[in-house]
A = this chain, B = another copy of it.
């Protein structure tokens, strides 16, 4: 009386998604100072609001929140068993907004709504669009973003759904940015933050090479990815890929690049929106990851002393500032191309 896949989660296939369906993701997660310490051990993170209670309090927050990307990874990790277990590719992000900081003691859960479905012309796969929301123990949303993935079909003869491609904003509009309650940068301590450059010192079009590099080890990316309860096989099991390599979770590269960007953007304190992003090429252990940024836009906000900067953050295992080849495609050295809004002292 043997069985092998009846009680285990086979993941969803393209034909298993219905437009408008709400998927409640499993395994809520309480975070603590432990997740925070691990984040600092895993990434060269130094932004002062996420490092110090006293600094955060001087900015009007009750205490130092967990890094915005801890919230992102935790919510993202919950979606993996329902959204990307049979995914062929993670295609994009849009309309991401951080709605409330996450503090030690908070419990996060997540749900996703299917907002688009489009079968590919080859009939063997399709694109699924979901809007994912992270919610805390008070039922307050902390994060909201759209992601679309290419998912394998389970049965080739499953009929194609009516194609629906959601209309997504190319960038989160400045008036839609949600500022943490109480945030006030009028008494911001630039010396303690580690850099003198303020919002007004960054010009649209300016590029910053973040200089430092980190050579990635297998143990590190696995510790990180497991910490977010992301269970995708390719990150952990060296026997999955024919080349015996473990693919590094794209979010690990996001966090590495964001942490490296401290050197040149130490005052780009809080991430408030994710406009878009592409994991341009896979990253593997042994790669030395570097990062550079480009200033895309600058807007004022209603919070005292707080400006918003729209940044492109590029992670690479090569030289800074190179991005696309003559054919218009990402160079093989480019790992990540991320477009986001941050809050900065004016």
Contact = CB atoms under 8 A, between A and B. Distances in A.
Interface in A156-208: 191-195, 197, 201, 203, 205-208
Contact of A42 (B35, B226, B246, B320): B226
Contact of A229 (B51, B226, B266): B51
Contact of A215 (B51, B194, B237): B237
Nearest to A212: B233
A203 B219 CA distance: 38
A165 B194 CA distance: 29
A160 to B, nearest CB: 28
Contacts of A53: 30, 105, 107, 137
Interface stretch (A4-12, A117-125, A276-284, A301-309): A4-12
Contact of A213 (B28, B233, B264, B320): B233
A321 B38 CA distance: 36
A91 interface: no
A51 B30 CA distance: 6
A61 interface: no
A64 B207 CA distance: 46
Contact of A33 (B24, B104, B201, B321): B104
A44 to B, nearest CB: 5
Interface in A1-41: 1-5, 7-9, 24, 26-38, 40-41
Interface string A89-115: 000000000000000110101000000
A297 interface: no
Nearest to A244: B215
Given A28-B52, A41-B223, A192-B28, A8 B211 contact: yes
A75 interface: no
A238 B54 contact: no
Contacts of A213: 233, 236-237, 239
A48 interface: yes
Nearest to A290: B237
B41 A224 contact: yes
A126 to B, nearest CB: 24
Residue of A81, A223, A233, A320 with most chain B CB atoms under a 10 A cut-off: A223
Contacts of A107: 52-54
Contact of A191 (B9, B24, B192): B24
13 contacts: A3-B209, A4-B209, A28-B52, A32-B34, A32-B36, A32-B37, A35-B37, A44-B229, A212-B237, A215-B218, A217-B217, A219-B223, A237-B288
Nearest 3 CB-CB pairs, A to B? A34-B37, A32-B33, A26-B194
Interface of A: 1-5, 7-9, 24, 26-38, 40-46, 48, 51-55, 64, 81, 104-105, 107, 109, 137, 191-195, 197, 201, 203, 205-215, 217-220, 222-224, 226-227, 229, 231, 233, 236-239, 246, 263-266, 288, 320-321
Given A4-B208, A34-B36, A34-B38, 10 more contacts: A8-B210, A8-B264, A24-B191, A26-B194, A27-B48, A29-B51, A40-B229, A42-B223, A43-B226, A223-B223
